[in-house]
Structure 1
Amino acid sequence: MREDIFNFLRKHQNEFVSGQQISEQLGVSRTAVWKHIRALKQKGYVIESYTKKGYCLREAPELLSPEALEKGLASSEFGQHIVYRERVDSTNNVAKQLADDGAPEGTVVIAEEQTGGRGRLSRSFHSPFAKGLWFSVILRPAIPPMEVSKMTLLAAVALARSLRAHGLSDCGIKWPNDILIHGRKMVGILTELNGSAEKVNYIIMGIGVNTGITEGDLPEDLKDIVTSFAMEGVAVHRTELLQTILSELEQLYHTVCQEGFAPILAQWRILSCMLGQKVSVSSVNRSFTGTAADIDDDGNLIVETEGGVEKVMAGDVHVRPV
């Protein structure tokens, strides 16, 4: 019904239509019309409303279109099958179900909004309506399960290259799964595995990119740690950005299939904003500080401390100002 109300307003864009007109045309109560229009406003639709005049649609957010996305794709596999949803709990959850049902490699699930987006260590990932790219890619690589963690590094390289191509030349990779700009988070990556100790059945690569988020969209606890294209003052077209990301992901994925992860790790080192910086490492059992020196061939972070060299395989790594 909400979509029907929007389509009616769009048909009469920049004209006032009364709640009674909408009610009669669509066979819904005026109270329901008011509630749906309020929800549209909360999602970023600019709708004027005045007593005795009704409602007038002035501006609607740019929504993603699978058809438009497919037309400009440079990739041959990634994005050739697209599942688009306006609202989901998590694109990773939808992608898992599709993968279980046999969806082909390169299938992309994208949503305008996630109500239960998540990151590493079960953290929530803020994913407001039409303010970012919230999507997941299904992969079926012929790699051993022990190498799956390096797929996150692959994604980080692809995202950093894509963001730089769209005007964010200062962005860098924070180990293992974030893209930062000026110390604030722009991108989150969550790679999830389905398989056994011997075999990878499939991987779900979940990605969130903040595009149109403003400070007013953020809860208080995120205002000092999150940024977006809009907050950095850089205009971006979401469809074009997604096309670039999928092309970069596919190119790097084919590199791994043909040459292994060594070229990816080399690119990661170049694009990292962590190496050479003081970091604080915390895990369930211990915490320590040191200098992020490198990543090894397995993608683990090498940290030099006063007591020696530490290899970090899991945990929460924070970049600390020198």
Structure 2
Amino acid sequence: MNHKMRVRNMKQKILKILKQNPSSFVSGQKISEQFGVTRAAVWKSIKQLQAAGYEIESETKNGYKLISCPDLLTSSEVMPYLKKSCFPYQIIHFNQLDSTNNKAKELAEHREPEGTVVIAEQQTQGKGKVGKKWISAPYKGIYMSIILRPELDFSGSSLLSLLGCVAVGKALLSFGCSVQFKWPNDVYVNEKKLCGILTEGSGEIDQLDYLILGIGINVNQTRQDFSKSLSSKASSLKIELGYRVSRQKLTAAILSEFEIQYHQLKQNGSAKEALDFYKNHSNIIGEKVLLQRNKQQTVEAKVLDIDQFGQLTVQYHDGSIVAISSGEITVQNTSPNFT
């Protein structure tokens, strides 16, 4: 275990014992003896926790008492809200990254296990679909990436993206939101985009080595956090619900829901329940759309269904019906008739 990991683990252990004694002081001597470190090491960890925003009262003869916790998405703050889990989640937290997907890919290449969750309080180069940038306001959203090692080929990435949407959608429902899904990877509330999913994988055509499931959610942004061009298209939970939402509880709810959906996929070899939920909340099935397959080609089509692999089933003007695994969809207000 490297030095940074040891320091992180020590802080988490001290936080745990302070949280277990919310109304009383815990002596520095007791902590040092319990964890086999010096009192100076305990004091240093306490100072680092205070610098991170934890309000910890200290008294010379009594020790330390936790007064309040900051709104951070650290393992210590998120894991207690997780439902009883068999999935090997481990959260690696950063104040700032260029992209959580980039960091997760780096860790996956070094054989970090399935269930590793990379979370950043801010991204400087957050990734959206089709190379777009995801605006990541610091300490106001959820920006995380999960390392998965599914026994699927590359076509399975569409299905895993769908599972991510369903996990977010079900979590948002528990917070009182009505959600809609725009294929392939967007979650809407009140016709405004709230969340985007981005999957990136590595491996052979017939077998993924790993897949990164990136999730970005606007949680506590205000209207002032969105540019004029975005304010008509995007929103946040705080704007839609009218109050500040616990990012820690929402993060835990999403991870808990994803575990359920992912377990069902691995156990049953299909994701029928998730697919039914997704289709029931889709905002494009039955709609006439413009489908952009690449930068040079845009075609008109009618959306018929979403198949068992998470692919979009569309009908072109000539009557042909095809399955689409990726692309950019724009719903048309008016369109020529389809047979």
Matched, 1:238 2:247: yes
Instruction: Point out where structure 1 has 5 or more consecutive residues left out of the alignment.
Output: 12-59
Question: 1:248 and 1:116, CA in 2 relative to 1: closer, same or farther beyond 3 A?
Answer: same
Matched, 1:298 2:306: no
Query: Match for residue 319 of structure 1?
Result: 331
Q: Which 4+ residue blocks in structure 1 deviate beyond 6 angstroms?
A: 8-11
Query: Match for residue 131 of structure 2?
Result: 122
Matched, 1:144 2:158: no
Matched, 1:208 2:220: no
1:123 CA drift (Å): 0.8
Native 8 Å contact 2:53 2:70 kept in 1: no
Distance 1:254 1:77 in 2: 10
Query: Match for residue 61 of structure 2?
Result: none
Distance 2:271 2:248 in 1: 31
Native 8 Å contact 1:279 1:292 kept in 2: yes
Please report the RMSD computed on the Cα atoms of aligned residues, expressed in angstroms. 2.7
Matched position secondary structure for 1:87 = coil
Native 8 Å contact 1:294 1:302 kept in 2: yes
Count of residue correspondences: 273
Native 8 Å contact 1:78 1:107 kept in 2: no
Query: Match for residue 67 of structure 1?
Result: 76
Question: 1:214 and 1:79, CA in 2 relative to 1: closer, same or farther beyond 3 A?
Answer: farther
Opposite residue 208 of structure 1, the aligned amino acid is G
Query: Match for residue 59 of structure 2?
Result: none
Matched, 1:173 2:185: no
Query: Match for residue 283 of structure 1?
Result: 293
Question: 1:233 and 1:267, CA in 2 relative to 1: closer, same or farther beyond 3 A?
Answer: closer
Matched position secondary structure for 2:278 = helix
1:103 CA drift (Å): 1.4
Q: Deviations over 1:198-233 (max 9, x none)?
A: 321111100001101122112333222111101213
Distance 2:207 2:201 in 1: 10
Distance 1:239 1:80 in 2: 15
Distance 1:124 1:172 in 2: 22
Q: Deviations over 1:82-128 (max 9, x none)?
A: 10001100011111111122212111110110000002211100111
Native 8 Å contact 1:302 1:309 kept in 2: no
Matched position secondary structure for 1:261 = coil
Query: Match for residue 275 of structure 2?
Result: 265
1:196 CA drift (Å): 1.4
**TM-score normalized with structure 1 length:** 0.77
**TM-score normalized with structure 2 length:** 0.73
Matched position secondary structure for 1:148 = helix
Opposite residue 97 of structure 2, the aligned amino acid is V
1:248 CA drift (Å): 0.7
Equivalent of 2:169, from 138, 152, 160? 160
Native 8 Å contact 2:284 2:331 kept in 1: yes
Distance 1:243 1:292 in 2: 34
Native 8 Å contact 1:280 1:287 kept in 2: yes
Matched position secondary structure for 1:155 = helix
Which moves more between the two structures, 177-186 or 294-303? 294-303
1:79 CA drift (Å): 6.6
Equivalent of 2:109, from 95, 100, 106? 100
Question: 1:253 and 1:287, CA in 2 relative to 1: closer, same or farther beyond 3 A?
Answer: same
Opposite residue 313 of structure 2, the aligned amino acid is I
Matched position secondary structure for 2:121 = strand
Native 8 Å contact 1:87 1:112 kept in 2: yes
Q: Sequence identity, in percent?
A: 35
Matched position secondary structure for 1:280 = strand
Distance 1:234 1:8 in 2: 28
1:75 CA drift (Å): 5.0
Native 8 Å contact 2:153 2:204 kept in 1: no
Distance 1:187 1:95 in 2: 19
